[in-house]
Structure 1
Amino acid sequence: MTQAAYGAQANPDLLARIPLDARRVLDVGCGAGALGATFRRRNPATRLEAVEADPALAEQAARHYDLVHRIDIESTAPPIPPGSLDALIYGDVLEHLRDPWAVLQRDAALLAEDGVLLVCVPNVEFWGFAAQLLAGRWRYTDQGLFDRTHLRWFSRQTMLEALREAGLQPLDVLPRIFEPERAEAFAEAMAPALKAIGVAKEDWLRRSAPLQYVWRATRRPPRLMVLVARTLRPVGGVNDVRILEPFRALASRPGVSTAAGPEAQLPKLEPEVPRVLILQRRLLDRPESLDYLRGLRATGALLVQEFDDDPAHWPVIAGNNNLAFRGVHAVQTSTPALRDLLSPFNDEIAVFPNALAELPEPQNFRDPSRLTLFFGALNREADIAPFLPVLNQVLAEAAGRLAVEVVHDQKSFAALDTPHKRYTPTADYATYRRLMAGCELAFLPLADTRFNRMKSDLKAVEAGGLRLCSLASPTVYAASLRHGETGLILPDPESLGHELRALLAEPTRALAIAEAARAWVREERLLARQVAPRLDWYRSLWERRAELDAALLRRVPALA
């Protein structure tokens, strides 16, 4: 890697550990600034500052940070008020310093009381180091573990000691292992020599497999919270949006531990450790459901039902006296309409609107002569059917200037009378978003039914985040999109034809609406805005657990 490319790629393990709702972050040795650029897409409101002594790299990084301090970190302390940083990052920096221990001790005071220090350092015990030394091939290089600018070396143990000497509380360490098979093969080859010197092969492999370590440390022990979710089997992006991405956002906070899966289990915990178990859309309609809930309650966890659809779609829920909502301590959902619908069965309900983890760089509007309409939804065949004749008419008129991208809905795809169409079967969430990102328009039809009125505006949020112009039904979307500004509302099929023809005549209008929709998502519908409210609610549940458990037993005495 050349110096000009240093910092051109974000370290994903550092990125995941920057508190998503951080107010102020200092990235020391930011290089070209990829870490800041990527985090900016997750939380545009964070004040991002950096330290970079190299003038050329600092110039590149300045595009992504609010301020770049062009100083030598060893000779000059960062001009940051003590106690003001939510995150202080040393990504591949400490090994380049003459006295990294002094720098750590000096800069620890910059952290807020609940701020986090993030460090990525190479591992001097890495097996590749030993392999080159034994073979007599050790040489300095221009990058990597043997970088000629490395002055100091750390093992896992010595980095732990350095953090403690700086007055910090080490929280956790992540080994970055890139070639596990080669590490295992080398350890196996070394096994006789290791045995001869009294070193267990398994212990040496554990220490030598990581190329680097990523550490988290704080000034004081953080408040703990353990969150476990029992999710649905993967279907589209339902799990991603409602559980997996929010969990990743919450886990960026020090002290918050998350785990999710269809049969996820709570770890063994001391009784005082706060814990919440989330059940994603569990119908609890079987005869053994009471025993199931009794077992979960016995773990000491607060039980939360996550539900984001009209429960009337599953009559078995009402058939079991709405145990799905009455038999838990609390409920979380996605819209005020669902909150109001569920409130007769549980008094403790929180609304967390669907939101995006980040705003990717736009990939569309590259050909001004052509627009692509995206349609990708589960179980919307009846909603789109009235629009198909008008859509086919516009497609014929457009003569190739309008194409259609369809995900999942094979019946509607077959009804499109055009060669300018492409079909993808039901896909994972990453594929779904990639296909959407290549389109300019999003078609979001919802017939005015009770079930649809309980839907969220997620597809408009996804479209806006990817810079698409949404053409949407009034049902659900009229409450979120401003017609003509952040989207286009279609009261009837004829309006679809009118709006499509207008956009084909003036594609720049579609781009303007898409940009405004992206700004709406950036300001209101990113997960960074929900980290504190979600965590505060879960902590509130734990603090009120006796009260909530008593209310639960009043609703369902059989759970006692």
Structure 2
Amino acid sequence: MCLIANIWAHYSQQDYSLNNHWVKTLNSELLRVLPIDARVIVEISDRPNPDLKSAYLRNNPECQYWQISPHQDLTKSTICDSMGRIDVLVYGCVNSPDQDFGKLVNDYSRWLKPNGQFIADIPNSQYWRRLVSLPLDKPQLSGVGLSLQEIRSHFNQAGLYIYEVRTKGDRTWEFNQFLERQKSANPSTVVYLKEYRAQTVAENYLVRGIKSSHPPRRLLIQTAIMAPTGCDRIRVLDPDRFSATIPGVRTFSSVRSARIIPTIPQEAKIFIWQRTIMSAGEHLSVLKRLLQENYLIIAEIDDNPLRRREYADHNYLSYRGCHGVQTSTKPLGVFLQQFNPNIAVFPNQLTEVSPPRHNYDNEKISLFFGALNREKDWEPIMASLNKVLSANSGRVLVRVVHDRQFFEALATDQKTFEPFCHYNRYLEILQNSDIALLPLTPTPVNLMKSDLKFLECAGSGVAVLASPTVYELSIQPDKTGLIYRTIREFETQLNRLINNHTLRRQIAENAYNWVKQNRLLCHHYQQRHRWYLEMCDRLPELNRQLQQRVPELFNNP
């Protein structure tokens, strides 16, 4: 799907530290645009670049990632078997300034799949610091790179359609002084000052092209995040980051704001309301404006609306007032259909798994519990938990995150507590645990929850003991986890995990592999894109449905 070229700035050998900084910056830029579902990547570089490879493989561990030198003949390599099937080609050569970029593009574009991308990070030969001699804290860069016009020409000749150009460079005080000097020295510059400014401010161009004579379909996904704590990453930020690697897709999100950003021509537009409690007085005018500007309006909800009576108080406008609703579980989808017939279920997924574990045979077992608002779920098992801890005194350390009441109820001094913390810290504690408890009682709210806690544990190499509520749909008993249905079973299963390290290890490894193969976002994010485009194509029909549900949205002011 993607061919990536990178023509690095060619600094002198003595500026190795500067090159390292350049590489890190470049890797960060490329990771934002690399397609996350690539099956084969070939990286051509004159120096090892393990950071880009390892960072990418964390999101897509099943990708086949090759690293070769720029002088290697692909026709004599096993990579030749992938000709026409390579998803990503990364080209990055620091010490080959004489490479002919036009020839490179033509030679390697034939290795692309149809509709594949060609992404190039190229120094701008017209960058203002390259045009004048100024005191710099880095080597002089004159004579390096290509102009945007030259880049466009090379792409066109290779049959690549450029659909996006990003510029990297700052409009500093020094740059403004440079423009003033240019105007003074050559007054005619004023006539084309805007164009000249655009040509010279960019230090580098990040160019994205597609192997096609036609542009990709453009789509803007804009989200108003109204409940950022706890669910913004899994439901908005991670899917947005992955979706933005799809050719033609832009994503934008803002916290507790419905600001509408500028669009570009021929761009389909989606506005997503994440966990928004809508009221007629506050939201009808915003919804009307979105409709007038031809937005597809989607509600995003990953929790049972019955938990907040405000939804019902406003006659579920949050769902009735949108063209469609996206949610996280099938039971939630069934519940929401009474308010809106256009439902999409996008289950929660992980973006990555932790490195494989090797410390399964610790002398002291770490037991993990981390959740919010779970008192009624853990109260039935607390007495049994304390009984098991007493029977295994000195062998089990309990790690508690978030829930102070759970921590206080533990009848042991072998315990630690971490208050509500950053997600990375939460994962750090989880990854240093051996067993996790996932209790849920079968309440109407719980029955609509997702299996995210199990995914997090499995992706961290932690064996789980879980209730059947929610988790029996994901866990394979005695293979990827243990299920308890009674208090007696809870005691028995927990003792098994504590005392049988072979069982504990096998369950953790099985669950880890299952998540890696089935529940990583790299395998699922394209599903959202397809649904969004289908819904955009149905917009006239969806507007008629919406008018029947909420006619006041179509009344004249």
TM-score, normalised via structure 1 length: 0.82
- What's the offset of the Cα at 1:171? 2.9
Match of 1:84 in 2: 85
- What's the offset of the Cα at 1:37? 3.5
Match of 1:436 in 2: 430
Match of 2:271 in 1: 277
Distance between the aligned counterparts of 1:74 and 1:50, measured in 2? 15
- The counterpart of 1:461, out of the listed 455, 460, 482, is 455
Amino acid aligned to 1:330? G
Matches within 5 A, 1:195-206: 197=185
Distance between the aligned counterparts of 1:197 and 1:359, measured in 2? 58
Matches within 5 A, 1:204-219: 212-219=204-211
**1:346-366: CA deviation from partner (whole Å, max 9, x where unpaired):** 111111110011223246736
Match of 1:485 in 2: 479
- The counterpart of 2:442, out of the listed 444, 448, 451, is 448
Asked if the contact 1:277/1:302 (under 8 Å) is kept, the reply is yes
Amino acid aligned to 1:324? S
Match of 1:100 in 2: 101
- The counterpart of 1:36, out of the listed 30, 53, 56, is 53
SS at match of 2:115: strand
Q: Cα distance 1:390–1:255, how it changes in 2: closer, same or farther (>3 A)?
A: same
Distance between the aligned counterparts of 2:82 and 2:511, measured in 1? 37
Asked if the contact 1:92/1:119 (under 8 Å) is kept, the reply is no
Match of 1:169 in 2: 161
- What's the offset of the Cα at 1:479? 1.0
**1:359-382: CA deviation from partner (whole Å, max 9, x where unpaired):** 232467366213222222121122
- What's the offset of the Cα at 1:242? 0.8
Amino acid aligned to 1:317? Y
SS at match of 1:378: coil
Q: Gaps (5+ residues) in structure 2?
A: 1-15
SS at match of 1:253: coil
Q: After alignment, is 86-95 or 320-329 more displaced?
A: 86-95
Q: Cα distance 1:7–1:384, how it changes in 2: closer, same or farther (>3 A)?
A: farther
Amino acid aligned to 1:87? V
Asked if the contact 1:97/1:152 (under 8 Å) is kept, the reply is no
**1:464-486: CA deviation from partner (whole Å, max 9, x where unpaired):** 11221111111100111011111
Match of 1:254 in 2: 247
Distance between the aligned counterparts of 1:136 and 1:383, measured in 2? 63
**1:539-558: CA deviation from partner (whole Å, max 9, x where unpaired):** 00011111111111112222
Matched, 1:358 2:375: no
Distance between the aligned counterparts of 2:354 and 2:316, measured in 1? 40
Distance between the aligned counterparts of 2:30 and 2:457, measured in 1? 28
SS at match of 1:113: coil
Q: After alignment, is 25-34 or 505-514 more displaced?
A: 25-34
Matches within 5 A, 1:129-278: 134=134, 153-154=145-146, 158-175=150-167, 184=172, 197=185, 212-220=204-212, 221-236=215-230, 238-262=231-255, 263-269=257-263, 272-278=266-272
Match of 2:304 in 1: 310
Distance between the aligned counterparts of 1:410 and 1:202, measured in 2? 59
**1:74-104: CA deviation from partner (whole Å, max 9, x where unpaired):** 9999736664343332234695453232111
RMSD: 3.7
- What's the offset of the Cα at 1:192? 7.9
Asked if the contact 1:436/1:466 (under 8 Å) is kept, the reply is yes
Asked if the contact 1:228/1:265 (under 8 Å) is kept, the reply is no
Distance between the aligned counterparts of 1:269 and 1:138, measured in 2? 37
Distance between the aligned counterparts of 1:74 and 1:193, measured in 2? 52
Asked if the contact 1:94/1:100 (under 8 Å) is kept, the reply is no
- What's the offset of the Cα at 1:269? 3.3
Match of 1:20 in 2: 36
Q: Gaps (5+ residues) in structure 1?
A: 54-69
Q: After alignment, is 81-90 or 106-115 more displaced?
A: 81-90
Matched, 1:404 2:405: no
SS at match of 1:350: strand
Match of 1:373 in 2: 367
Asked if the contact 2:331/2:448 (under 8 Å) is kept, the reply is yes
Aligned-pair identity (%):
32
Asked if the contact 2:377/2:439 (under 8 Å) is kept, the reply is yes
Asked if the contact 1:406/1:424 (under 8 Å) is kept, the reply is yes
Residues paired across the two proteins, number: 528
Match of 2:68 in 1: 51
SS at match of 1:539: helix
Q: Cα distance 1:164–1:422, how it changes in 2: closer, same or farther (>3 A)?
A: farther
Asked if the contact 1:175/1:211 (under 8 Å) is kept, the reply is yes
Distance between the aligned counterparts of 1:320 and 1:557, measured in 2? 15
TM-score, normalised via structure 2 length: 0.83
